[in-house]
Structure formats: structure tokens, C-alpha cells
Amino acid sequence: MSGELGARRRLLEERVRAFPDFPAPGVLFRDISPLVKDPIAFRTVIDILEAHLKTHYPEIDFIAGLDSRGFLFGPVLAQRLGIGCVLIRKKGKLPGPTESVSYALEYGQAELEIQSDALEPGEKVVLVDDLLATGGTMCAACELMKKLKAEVLECVVVIELKSLKGAEKLKPFPVYSLLQYD
């Protein structure tokens, strides 16, 4: 880790709390609430993500924020980049015609959807969420992009739980994570 970037990431790590056995026994929950509460830490997340995306993807049409904590980062990041943000929601939360995908969670089943007219074929999209665990939610979001014929440039997360191998499930889509935990 480079000096300044390393120091910035350490600041973020200090703002993430761990809660064992939540929401189920054996799960170590990584809580971003203190990170969002701290304006300097939150701004640091957005600054790092903005710099990364500007460097690697000079042409992005939209950020797609995943329900629900992706909504904390996606719109702010989109605003910084001067582009729009589209919402990927849990089933039943969007009006009008939608596309949906079912997927498995670490502890259950769920469904994501997006409005059918949210993106045009060929538009370049970066998916944003707070956490990548097993990859189920992000993989479902990538499937939604495929249904709309949008191009996924990258899947961006604040935290990646490396031991759960979610990034492997997302191949060939690249994954960028600010913080990694085993």
C-alpha cells in the first residue's frame, strides 16, 4: 500500500466495527455505521473511489447503487463524477415495468430488480455496494445489467470478505474493494 493511500485506508479500517454472530451465529458482521457517521472518513471513501474510477474508466455513463447500503455511496460518487445514478432495488420497491433476478444470500433467498428503462443498451455502468461477501447480490446485479444490455465496467465495494471468494464468482467482471478482510 502506498504511503498516503495506506494512511487513508487505515483511517477507514479504524471506522469499521466487527460484530460477531450477527445476523446469525458464526457470521462476523462488518459495520460501516461509524464510517458513514464520520464526515472525514466518508469523504475519504468517496475521494478514493472517485480517483480510482477517473484513472481506470474515463468514460462511465452511470453508477448503479445496490439496495440498500450501495445507496449511501453510489449517488454521492455519481455526483462527484458528474453522471447519474440508477437504483437496483429489492423486489417490489420500484414502480413501473421492471427486470428482476433471483439469487441466493449467505442465509436465504432474495430478488433484485431494476426499472426496465433505467439503462440503454451499451451504456457503461459501475456497480457500487458497501460489501462483497459470497458475491450473490453483486452477481445478480450483473445479471440485471446483462438483461438491459448495459456494459459492466467494474464492481466497486467498500469492504470485501476475501475468504468467501465473492470476486471469483463475479469473473470476468473486475472488482475493486477499498478494504479487505479474511
The verdict on whether 15 is a catalytic residue reads no
Alpha carbon distance 168, 174 (integer Å): 10
Q: Centre a 10 Å sphere on the Cβ of residue 54 and count the other Cβ atoms it contains.
A: 12
Length reported for the chain: 182
Among 180, 117, 163, 113, which Cα is nearest to 140's? 113
The verdict on whether 14 is a catalytic residue reads no
Selected catalytic residue, list 69, 89, 99, 113: 69
Selected catalytic residue, list 14, 106, 111, 120: 106
What separation, in Å, do the N-terminal and C-terminal C-alpha atoms of the chain show? 17
Alpha carbon distance 24, 77 (integer Å): 31
Which residues are tagged catalytic?
A: 69, 106
